[in-house]
Amino acid sequence: MYKEYTQEEFWKLYKDLPLNLKDTLSTEETGNNVEKACQRNEEEGGFSKALNLVGQVLLGLLPPEEFEKTIMEDLSVDEEKAKKISREISRLVFFPVREELSSLYGTEKAVSEGEEISREGKASKDTYREPIE
Amino acid sequence: MKDKVKIFFLIALFCFLFFPQQAEGFVLDLATKQLNALSEVTGPYMAAYIFSFLIFVVGLCALWLSTSLLSWIIAATPEALTVTGGEAYVFIQAGWGFTVGITNLLIVIAFIIIAFSIILGFSKIEVKRALPMLIIVALLVNFTLLFVGMAIDISNFLFNAVLGQFSPEEGNVLFNAVESLFNASDLLIRSFVAGMVARVVQLLIPYVGVAAQVAWTVGFIAILLPMMLQLLTYGIIMLMMSSLFFSYFFIFLARIFIIQILAMLAPLAFFCLIFPQTKKWWNQWLDTLVQWLLVGIVFIFLMYVGLLLAPVVTSTSGFIKPGWPGWMDWFVGDLIGHIILIAYFTVIFFVARRFIPAAASTIISQATGMIKTATPFVGALAKGGIRGYRRSALKSGTEKPLPESIEKQGWARKPIRALQATGRPFRELSSWAVRKGHHLAGTTVEREVAKDNEAKAKEFEGKFADDYKSAVEVYSGKPEDERTETERIGFLQYLSKGGGKALDMLPAERLKSSLDLAVREGDSETVKSIVSQVPELAEGKKEIQDLLECKDMAGVYKMASKSLQQPKDIKNLKPETLKNKEYIKAVIDNKDFKFIQTVGEEIGKEAVENLIEGILKQKEEGIESLQKNIGNLEKNNPMLYRQIEKTPMAQAILRPVYNEIDLKNINKREQNLASRVSRVSDKEELRVSDKEELRKIKEELQNLNDRKNEIEQERESRQRKITQSENKEE
């Protein structure tokens, strides 16, 4: 779901990220790709929420396999549309950094216990799969 | 009786000639003892007197020899520097013939390799491209000596043109310039020899010698000391002048041989033109040839200008009356002109060094070493002196301010100013000569001063690296007025590399005075780099703002924010600078999101909070102006606006700003949806698809409304926090 995090929380998560993920988080290109995906599926109004979810995935807070489901819930769209949007975003945004995402969700512990925001989905193996179009 | 007298005198003569020791108590013994006693005093200063004469003689011989050699090489250069005729032709032809043979062989091999690589199909594109060049080179290589000969002829033509232009109608320009030294030497040698002969004769006469010794001792300051000083000064000046002339001679001599060797290597150099990989050697050869051809012309031109300057300078120096004792008049009248001439030659030396070949630079380095060894203060003339000259050239046109006590007394100001003005022609002339010399060498005084400063900064960097604290401690150990201008600006440049934090370590007064110095010298680069780190230094200083071409402080902050490129620049900024409202405004108006990201990474969230406040001005203007201020951001820095809108990271760290952008977009979207609703609703009969569209719009409007509420809550929460912190502060 749509998450709001403070600057401290963000910097704490950000500082341990691989360089490529940091770049993806801080480039305008990411927003352009999310916007394109929303526009193609006639969901312009959902851009800011979709961008927030992409940020969560890149920060290690939302596992990529849950991205589609969360899109469906947060943007209030049907399953078909959520699938289309998430596929497009995955192809344009997540695929170039798939290795970093694999290591982030596969082996790394996100943040120490007891913190308000923690990285979820500590899967023991690489669960990220690039959608086949 | 007569015989008895004869016998007595014979015995007396025998005793006088052959007696082993004269009897004590002899009437002349007193004079001998007095002479011995006096020699304790007169011995050392006579030794110094003779030593100064020896220095003088060595200097004279060296000057004569160096002037003769230089005159000879200048006269011989046009004839000696040839590759197509003259005496050198035979050995050049032999050497060149050998290299042509090797080059032809290499061309054949290269041709075969290219041909095979093309036939076998594993050639690279570059190899194919090399083929036309190979053919051209194969044709040209046999004419290389002719080409080099033509270049030499052009150089010789220019060389002769300079010689013809500046040669006097009578005599030799070199000998004319130092003629007064030779003339003075003649008089000095005669005086010295006459004085010595007189002394020796006086010493031989009993009691007269004693009286003369006493007279010499009493008149030491009035007679011997001026003479000694004269001999030493002339000697040292002639040694310095001869060192410079010897160096010039070596450069002119080396030039002939080096150009001839380059001519012999010409075929190989042409061969290097064929392949891209070897082209760098061709360039090297060509550069060296052109430089060595040019160096002679530039040297001869600058040198002749200097030599012709000699009489002008000597006559100008006659106006200088520094109020020395009368017996020092010879120094003012004769020698200042020559000292200025030496300074001019030294300037040429170092100016020409910037663009002459490396080998000539080495010769100059050796010569500098020789000069330094010859006399301890030549080092100052050669390096410090040239800096001084450059700096004086920088200051020409600006009168030195009078002391405050004199400025206050109106009646004294005028005559002192008039007195100051008497030195102006000399200053202007020397400034013109220095500037002209730099200009001819393709550089400027300002550029060279900047290089000196930069070299000094590097020296500090080499000594202290990034240990700015120790550097400041050591630097501050010496009073400011004992530091040279180069040191002061160099140190400032060094500190500016450590940013505002490093500059802050220097006592404020010193920082300001050094910055003022850089401003006075028009060193805009240094001033810019300092003000970029500490923009507050330009506060109220119009001359700094003018130098940086900024109309006001807003412009200075804008320049300062634009100058920051590296993350380390941001890290080294003073905390006060990062809180400065003008600076924050300049950053918001001019920098992109990358800068804000670096601020967050390097400084921390407080600095980012300041930037958020700088954009939204919620503290100052409240919630009502948020949308207006976000509109200003869109207008003033559309790139940053777009980046915040589209970047996940900006959404996180600039949350309140992002919310306002989102709110703006939501409002637009709502208007868009409202017009769609009215368009569909206006239809007389709604179809299923229309109903479906209306349902979707309604859903979206609901979502947008939810988001608006969220933003509203976040706005209020932020406002509460602001109020709380303000209350705390109060």
Q: How far is A107 from chain B (nearest CA, A)?
A: 24
CB contacts, 8 Å: A75 with chain B: 703
Interchain CB distance below 8 Å, A26 and B699? no
CB contacts, 8 Å: A55 with chain B: 648-649, 651-652
ipTM: 0.80
Overall number of domains in chain A: 1
Structure tokens at B498: 């450590």
User: B410: buried, middle or exposed (CB in 10 Å: 19+, 13-18, 0-12)?
Assistant: exposed
SS3 for B532? helix
Identify the pLDDT of residue A54.
93
Please report, for residues A79, B405, B518, B519, the alpha-carbon distance to residue B395 in angstroms, rounded to integers and kept in the order given.
79, 23, 12, 12
Q: How far is B682 from chain A (nearest CA, A)?
A: 23
Q: What single string gives the DSSP state of each residue in B102-148?
A: HHHHHHHHHHHHHHHHHHHT---HHHHHHHHHHHHHHHHGGGHHHHH
User: B653: buried, middle or exposed (CB in 10 Å: 19+, 13-18, 0-12)?
Assistant: buried
**Assigned domain for A82 exists:** yes
Which of B649, B661, B662, B676 is most worth mutating to test chain A (most A CB atoms within 10 A of its CB)?
A: B649
Please name the member of B597, B642, B669 whose beta carbon is closest to the beta carbon of A45.
B669
Structure tokens at B624: 């009502």
User: Which residue has tokens 């004569």?
Assistant: B64
Interchain CB distance below 8 Å, B646 and A26? no
Which of A48, A52, A54 is most worth mutating to test chain B (most B CB atoms within 10 A of its CB)?
A: A48
- CA-to-CA distance for A133 and B429, rounded, in angstroms? 82
Helix (H) or strand (E) holding B159: helix B144-166
Please name the member of A10, A14, A76 whose beta carbon is closest to the beta carbon of B699.
A76
Chain B residue closest in CA terms to A58 = B648
Please name the member of A5, A27, A76 whose beta carbon is closest to the beta carbon of B647.
A27
Residues of chain B whose pLDDT is less than 70?
A: 1, 16-31, 33-35, 37-38, 40-41, 85-88, 121-128, 166-171, 222, 308-337, 349-442, 564-568
| Residue A83 near residue A68 (C-beta atoms within 8 A) | yes
**Assigned domain for A129 exists:** no
**Assigned domain for A122 exists:** no
Identify the pLDDT of residue A35.
92
Please name the member of A4, A26, A48 whose beta carbon is closest to the beta carbon of B649.
A26
CB contacts, 8 Å: A25 with chain B: 647-649
Structural domain that includes position A78: 29-106
Contacts (Cβ under 8 Å, ≥6 apart) of B253: B73
Identify the pLDDT of residue B677.
86
Identify the pLDDT of residue B567.
64
Interchain CB distance below 8 Å, A76 and B703? yes
CB contacts, 8 Å: A76 with chain B: 699, 703
Interchain CB distance below 8 Å, B704 and A27? no
The tens place of each residue's pLDDT in chain A, 133 residues long, gives 556 677 788 888 888 899 899 999 999 999 999 999 998 888 888 888 899 999 999 998 888 888 999 999 888 888 999 999 999 999 999 999 988 888 888 744 333 333 344 454 444 445 566 666 5
Helix/strand/coil (H/E/C) assignment for every residue in chain A:
CCCCCCHHHHHHHHHCCCHHHHHHHHCHHHHHHHHHHHHHCCCHHHHHHHHHHHHHHHHCCCCHHHHHHHHHHHHCCCHHHHHHHHHHHHHHHHHHHHHHHHHHHHCCCCCCCCCCCCCCCCCCCCCCCCCCC
Cβ-Cβ contacts under 8 Å between A and B: the total is 71
Please name the member of A25, A48, A76 whose beta carbon is closest to the beta carbon of B649.
A25
CB contacts, 8 Å: A44 with chain B: 669
Identify the pLDDT of residue A50.
92
The three-point CA angle B577-B583-B588 to 5° equals: 130
Identify the pLDDT of residue A30.
93
Please report, for residues B169, B384, B400, B489, the alpha-carbon distance to residue B388 in angstroms, rounded to integers and kept in the order given.
35, 6, 15, 14
Identify the pLDDT of residue B239.
87
Interchain CB distance below 8 Å, B652 and A49? no
Identify the pLDDT of residue A53.
92
Question: Half-sphere exposure of B261 toward its Cβ, with a 13 Å CA cutoff?
Answer: 9
| Residue B148 near residue B289 (C-beta atoms within 8 A) | yes
Q: How far is B652 from chain A (nearest CA, A)?
A: 7
Please name the member of A11, A55, A75 whose beta carbon is closest to the beta carbon of B605.
A11
- CA-to-CA distance for B559 and B555, rounded, in angstroms? 6
- CA-to-CA distance for B266 and B141, rounded, in angstroms? 8
Which of A1, A2, A5, A7 is most worth mutating to test chain B (most B CB atoms within 10 A of its CB)?
A: A7
Residue in B67, B373, B391 with CA at minimum distance from that of residue B245: B67
CB contacts, 8 Å: B666 with chain A: 45
| Residue A33 near residue A110 (C-beta atoms within 8 A) | no
- The sign of the torsion formed by the CA atoms of B7, B12, B15, B18 equals negative
pLDDT in tens, B444-483: 777 777 788 888 888 888 888 888 888 888 888 888 777 8
**Assigned domain for A78 exists:** yes
Q: How far is B706 from chain A (nearest CA, A)?
A: 11
Identify the pLDDT of residue A29.
92
Identify the pLDDT of residue B323.
53
- CA-to-CA distance for B542 and B555, rounded, in angstroms? 12
Identify the pLDDT of residue A109.
39
- CA-to-CA distance for B460 and B129, rounded, in angstroms? 50
Strand segments, DSSP code E, in B580-626 are none
Per-window interface: A 70-109 vs B, CB < 8 A:
75-76
**Assigned domain for A79 exists:** yes
